[in-house]
Amino acid sequence: MDTHVADRTLAITRLIPALPEKVFAAWVEPERVKQWFGPRAMTTPRCEVELRPGGLHHTVMRDTAGKEYDNPMVIEAVEPGRRLVLRVPEATDCPVPGAIGTLLFLPDAQGTRFEARWDHPTAEMRARHLEMGFERGWGETIDKLTAHLASPEPGLCPMAAPLSPEHGWLHRLLGEWRYETECTGPDGTPMRSAGRESVRSLGGQWVIGEAEGTMPGAGAVRWVVTMGFDAKAGRFRGTWVGSMMAHMFLYDGALAEDGRTLTLENEGPSFDGQGTSRYRDIVELRDADTRLLMSEVQGADGGWTRFMTATFRRAG
């Protein structure tokens, strides 16, 4: 891609645990679009789709105050189950007139690699779109799409319930990752390690990460983390077990308002081997391909000390 085109483009990619034809259908069947479309605080009471080049993909979103946002788009191209190209009409109140969105629905081992790319007529319009909240708005929208697609069919299981956007947020972690960690040894010396992690979905309810690598003083290690969301309690729940200890860490946490940071509290053996201590793991999404894991321990004075930081980067 040449520099000038790159200066006018915004894009987001996500792995979704559903087949491409199902993800595509969720975009073009009006009754389904109304169930998930829009950022977290929005509902979509109206939708019209004419699935043909030149047809409309027209949604109306509504915020919590009742204000409505008209979102008419022209369908430029259609490849059922694979590609949908949308154009914002020039004669519209939308702040990005003439922008073209290309949605790709690509087969993947996890289900679908969904890519949304927006090309803008000018670099200034791209900057305006980014400032409006492109990353957060599209991130939350795809969270809702993922939760919609992964939710169990009504009536199949009396214990099952529709999934929430928080379940969709957890699915941002899907895929293959390489990580590097740096922690502080007992004498204050920095210690480093590295490894790989593979994160998959379990029925949409859970994400499961399986990792293997090295740990200073422990050699080769493996661990498994599970993470889900308890909609009734409004809390993230999970577990962590590793080959280097017998203790199972139980996670309880919440997502920050910025939608990027998940703080998970837990309790485990103290570093000195005497009793237990309170810990917290902080997951921070830097971008679609980079996340941090920061571990802290609570001292006797109630303060928190960071002792480990891991950087995860997508491996492919």
Extended beta strands in the chain, E state = 9-16, 43-49, 56-62, 68-79, 83-87, 100-108, 111-119, 175-184, 190-202, 206-215, 219-230, 235-242, 249-255, 261-269, 276-287, 290-298, 304-314
135 is a domain residue: yes
Distance CA 115, CA 12 (A): 6
Q: Are 12 and 139 contained in the same domain?
A: yes
**Per the domain annotation, does 96 fall within a domain?**
yes
Does the residue 156 lie in any domain?
no
101, pLDDT greater than 70? yes
Q: How confident is the model at residue 147 (pLDDT cuts 50, 70, 90)?
A: very high
* pLDDT of 107 over the 70 cut: yes
Over range 27-49, report the average pLDDT: 97
Give the model's pLDDT for residue 157: 64
What are φ and ψ of residue 126, in 5° steps? Answer: -60, -45
Considering the domain architecture, whether residues 91 and 20 belong to the same structural domain is answered as yes
Assigned domain for 19 exists: yes
CATH number assigned to the domain comprising residue 255: 2.40.128.20
User: What DSSP element (H or E) covers 33?
Assistant: helix 30-36
**Is the pLDDT score of 7 beyond 80?**
yes
Q: What is the pTM of this model?
A: 0.91
Q: Which of the listed residues 94, 116, 150 is the one where a domain comes to its end?
A: 150
The answer on 131 and 184 residing in a single domain is no
- Please state the rounded mean pLDDT for residues 102-118: 97
User: Does 143 share its domain with 212?
Assistant: no
Domain harbouring 108, CATH code: 3.30.530.20
Residue 161 lies in a domain: no
pLDDT at 3: 37
Place 280 in a pLDDT band, splitting at 50, 70 and 90: very high
Question: Do 145 and 8 share a structural domain?
Answer: yes
Domain end point (choices 102, 121, 150): 150
Q: How confident is the model at residue 253 (pLDDT cuts 50, 70, 90)?
A: very high
Q: Do 209 and 89 fall within a single domain? A: no
- Is 238 among the domain residues? yes
Answer yes or no: do 97 and 35 share one domain: yes
Quick one: 270 and 193 in the same domain?
yes
Contacts of 137 (CB under 8 A, 6+ apart): 39
296 with 305: CB under 8 angstroms? yes
Residues 63-87 have a mean pLDDT of 96
Whether 91 and 185 share a structural domain: no
Q: Which own/partner pairs from 225-234 qualify as long-range (CB within 8 Å, at least 24 positions apart)?
A: 226/202, 227/170, 227/173, 227/251, 228/167, 228/170, 229/164, 229/166, 229/167, 229/170, 231/161, 231/164, 231/166
| Count of the separate structural domains present in the chain | 2
Say yes or no: 97 and 137 in one domain: yes
Could you tell me if 7 and 131 lie in one domain?
A: yes
Mean per-residue pLDDT over the chain, rounded:
93
123-131 helix and 134-150 helix, angle to the nearest 10 degrees: 60
Domain that holds residue 32: 3-150
Residues 133 and 239 in one domain: no
* 159 is a domain residue: no
- Which residues lie closer than 8 Å to 277 by C-beta, 6 or more apart? 267, 268, 269, 270, 271, 297, 298
In a domain? residue 164: no
